[in-house]
Structure 1
Amino acid sequence: MSQIIPITPTDATSSQAPEQEEVVSSGLTVSPPLSLYIHIPWCVRKCPYCDFNSHESRSEIPEAAYVDALVADLEQSVPRIWGRRVQSIFFGGGTPSLFSAESIDRILSQVRALVPLSSHAEVTLEANPGTVDAQHFRGYRDAGVNRLSLGIQSFDSHYLEKLGRIHDEHQAMAAAELALSTFDSVNFDVMYALPGQTLAHALADAERACQLGPAHLSFYHLTLEPNTPFHRTPPALPDDDTSASMQEAIEDILIGHSYQHYETSAFARPGKQCRHNQNYWLFGDYLGIGAGAHSKLSFHDRITRESRHKHPRQYLQHAAQGNAMDQQWSIPRDELPFEFMMNALRLTSGFSAELFEQRTGLALSEIEDTLQLAISKGLLSRTQISQAPNHVAGAENLSSTTIAPTALGQRFLNELLQLFLI
């Protein structure tokens, strides 16, 4: 792992800088859009399928001290993102809705004070139906949260109990309706292929979610992740054929309700795609603060990743001492194609050749053999799109190459991605 020496900013822009991408000196010619991820690591009870960095709140959460640590972490990070405008903020967890509206307000106030924040920034907070009420929701909205992501998972108490969730179907419905009446933009997280779940019950969840009409829906296939109770003692899950039938039928239901399937697990009303997650998938930059949070930051000569100290207790200690970051490393050049594809190929519409070159600093020709192999296997498509000429005298028609996963490639995404592993 190579050691990174922080760069001292030499061309800082003020917090009133125009909302545009910044030009850097060489290598990567344009800095990607920048997002901010804020990790809240505590939850009431850890679900048996969850492999996120989350910790049960068995005693009082040190909320005020953790907010102090987040602010210190951001202050320590400012030199690496100096002058760059933050386009979106995402509070993830854990269960961020365990924190008071006052704490969320203080965090966002400090963000605005320390970094340039887009006037139209998308600010998302994840919430658990079992930890919220009208007062919480109004407080989050007043603090500046303009998008709520609600962890419904199922509208059926039987399956919620199987998943170890702390809420039941009545709380799920109440929280969903409250969220929709409080926020202009709401996402529901729903899972399928649950222990013992039938096709009819999976489709009932999809229909219920569509009838409520949130701007965005995320439907995830339950997977047995390593180092989880479900992985150690697997429950009886639907077989592969039933799971595939669930996936196809759910997609049909959502499309029938005017949701656009724009990413592997994401569906949105027109214009309501999650901008924060899209920035991940388009290989944009993001700064992650909080226990165990990860970052990806681009410089003129390299693309780096960072991680914070993982355990909340260690994170609190190190952030107070001025070293919240645990590790930092550069992505090797030969790993950049896979890193890019691991994100961009989740998008059903794919990506442009120009974007690949902008975000990696590599020429598309460097992966031409792999692209051809994927196309020959029916996993990728490549389309040449003609664009209208500009109005400069003598300008020729422009064209753009779009690369996208086929329906087969979307279904066998892991197999497609493996082609790009060096």
Structure 2
Amino acid sequence: MFRLPPINLYIHIPWCTKKCGYCDFYSYVNKNIIPEEKYIKSLLKDLEKDLKLTNQRKINNIFIGGGTPSLLHHNSIKNLIYGIKKRAKISKYAEISIESNPNSIEYKRFRQYKKHGINRFSLGIQTFNSYLLKKIERTYNKKEAIEAIKEIKKINKNFNIDIMYGLPNQSLKHVLSDLKNAVKYNPTHISWYQFTIEPNTPFYTRKIKLENENIIFKMFHQGDKFLKKSGYIKYEISSYMKLNYQCKHNLNYWNFGDYIGIGCGAHGKITKTNGDIIRTIKNKNINDFINGKYLHSKKLVLEKDKPFEYFMNAFRLYKPIYKKHFQEYTNISLDSIKKNINKAIKKKYILENVNSWETTKKGKFFLNELLTIFLN
């Protein structure tokens, strides 16, 4: 019944020119020259160690995130991609994505990135409103955002635009204007998600207020309706695509696939041939990482925690969850979650079919409550 899931590669580039007040992703503010060459060499050595855990599985897709990966010189991207292909089996159909910001110094590198194998770009626009961009401490304006999109369209069809709603002082009119601007440039994918303020961020410390929940719901309802009318298919809670343009790397997360995580603070999930699932976290200290101390922690996912970890991802998707898939990727029986499933059905969070489960509209709306049913 058990089988090894597909595996991807995530690469974390930890530098930013400025730390945004709401951001809780792991990153360093760069005030000096980035030690690119040393970091790339360390990434490849980190990869070599993790590949030993993967049973020589082929890597299906690669995602370079951050931080701000587009701060790297194109030769660094070239050396990184070449080094990965030299060490690992990579699918010839691999989607190789890079996150980028629309600052002019960064988007001028896109053409060179494409030459070195990048075939999908993800632009962190967030909003086209220059006033709101300043409020959330982004380092570009509307004009630069549009120029970056135009530059990408010249060189690559497949690209994503990140947009947020519920920003401080943002109106419903602003939200719909952002989406109209995004759709105007016909991206193959739009990530549209709610602005949140996480603990341990400057905005949290400064007690920046979020919009009223009723206003947020109106923004979501009308924005969701607009995107669907504009020809985008919603396949995940905050992801909209043109036909066949899902983000393959993120889809692998949500389908409970494996992924090697390399770089400062990167997380990984690797399933062993005996069915054990290993979670890895890499060292967050850049100096330690460059000096060869890659691994921060490695732990075994306990059997009792596997259902929660599986459904935490799968319930985000707008498609049936097949029982066979659950068994194959968790290596545990359906009987062990029968009580949890029945409770979720009783609360009308999910529907059960002979071979699958489906999340209801209520289940999607109360996703956290649904997940707590499977939490030990």
TM-score by length of 1: 0.87
Deviations 1:206-256, CA, capped at 9 Å, x for gaps: 111112110000011011101001111122321000001111111101100
User: Contact 2:70–2:106 at 8 Å: present in 1 too?
Assistant: no
Q: What is the DSSP-based 3-state SS (H/G/I as helix, E as strand, rest coil) of the residue aligned with 2:93? A: strand
| Whole-angstrom distance in 2 between the partners of 1:131 and 1:359 | 43
Residue matched to 1:243: 216
Letter of the aligned partner of 2:237 in structure 1?
T
Whichever residue aligns with residue 286 of structure 1, its letter is: Y
Is 1:348–1:410's contact at 8 Å kept on the other side of the alignment? no
Deviations 1:235-289 (A, max 9, x none): 2321000001111111101100111111011000110001110100010000000
Indicate the SS of the match to 2:342.
helix
1:25-40 equivalences in 2 (<5 Å): 29-40=2-13
Q: Show the counterpart of 1:107.
A: 80
**In the alignment, structure 1 residue 59 sits paired with structure 2 residue 32:** yes
Aligned to 2:307: 337
What SS does structure 2 have at the residue aligned with 1:245?
A: helix
Residue of structure 2 equivalent to 1:182: 155
1:127 maps to 2:97: no
Q: What runs of 5+ residues in structure 1 fail to find an aligned partner?
A: 1-27, 385-400
One-letter code aligned to 1:416? L
Cα shift at 1:404: 2.0
The aligned counterpart of 1:406 is 360
Match among 76, 97, 108 for residue 70 of structure 2: 97
2:210 partner letter: L
Q: Helix, strand or coil: the match of 1:117?
A: coil
Partners of 1:177 and 1:377 lie apart in 2 by 47
Q: Does 1:227 align with 2:200?
A: yes
Cα deviation code 1:397-420 (max 9, x no counterpart): xxxx22121111111111111111
**Alpha carbons of structure 1 residues 70 and 383: separation in structure 2 relative to 1, 3 Å:** same
Q: Helix, strand or coil for the counterpart of 1:262?
A: strand
2:161, 2:189 within 8 Å by CA — same for their partners in 1?
yes
Give the distance between the partners of 2:368 and 2:318, measured in 1 at CA: 15
CA shift for structure 1 position 315: 1.3
Match of 2:52 in 1: 79
Indicate conservation of the 8 Å contact 1:42/1:95, yes or no.
Answer: yes
- Tell me if the contact between 1:89 and 1:122 (Cα under 8 Å) persists in the aligned partners: yes
Which residue does the alignment assign to 2:41? 68
Out of 322, 329, 332, the residue aligned to residue 359 of structure 1 is 329
Match of 2:316 in 1: 346
CA distance, structure 2, for counterparts of residue 282 and residue 140 of structure 1: 28
CA-CA distance at 1:135 after TM superposition = 4.1
Amino acid at match of 1:95: T
1:304 equivalent among 278, 303, 306: 278
Provide the secondary structure at the position in 1 that maps to 2:103. Answer: helix
Asked whether the 8 Å contact 2:55–2:273 carries over to 1, the reply is: no
Which secondary structure does the structure 2 equivalent of 1:248 belong to?
A: helix
Aligned ranges 1:152-171 → 2 under 5 Å = 152-171=125-144
Offset of residue 324 of structure 1 = 1.2
Distance in 2 of aligned mates of 1:177 and 1:342: 36
Partner residue, 1:387: none
Quote the Cα distance in structure 2 between the aligned partners of 1:45 and 1:228.
13
RMSD: 1.2
The structure that has the greater radius of gyration is 1
- Correspondences of 1:282-321 after superposition (within 5 Å): 282-301=255-274, 302-317=276-291, 319=292
Which is worse superposed, 232-241 or 88-97?
Answer: 232-241
Please list the CA deviations of residues 98-135 of structure 1 after superposition, one character each: whole Å capped at 9, or x if unmatched: 00111011101011010100000000000000154564
**C-alpha distance in 2 between matches for 1:271 and 1:364:** 31
Distance in 2 (alpha carbons) for counterparts of 1:380 and 1:72: 44
The alpha-carbon distance between structure 1 residues 225 and 148, as it changes in their structure 2 partners (threshold 3 A), is: same
User: 3-state SS of the aligned residue for 1:119?
Assistant: coil
Distance 1:87 1:110, change over 3 A: same
Determine which of 147, 160, 168 is the counterpart of 1:195.
168
Residue 82 of structure 1 and its aligned partner are, at CA, apart by 3.8
> Offset of 1:351 from its aligned partner?
1.4
How many percent of aligned residue pairs carry the same amino acid? 37
Aligned with residue 112 of structure 2, among 107, 116, 139: 139
Could you say which residue in structure 2 is the equivalent of 1:118? 91
Q: In 1, Cα distance between the equivalents of 2:53 and 2:229? A: 45
Distance 2:142 2:285 in 1: 32
Residue 370 of structure 1: which of 340, 343, 347 is its match? 340
CA distance in 2 between partners of 1:246 and 1:375 (Å): 29
Determine the structure 2 residue equivalent to 1:379. Answer: 349
CA distance in 1, matches of 2:281, 2:167: 32
Residue 269 to residue 327, structure 1, CA distance change in 2 (3 Å): same
Match of 2:248 among 267, 271, 275: 275
Q: Would you say the 8 A contact 1:29–1:300 is kept in 2?
A: no
**What secondary structure sits across from 2:268 in the alignment?**
strand
Alpha-carbon deviation of 1:350? 3.8
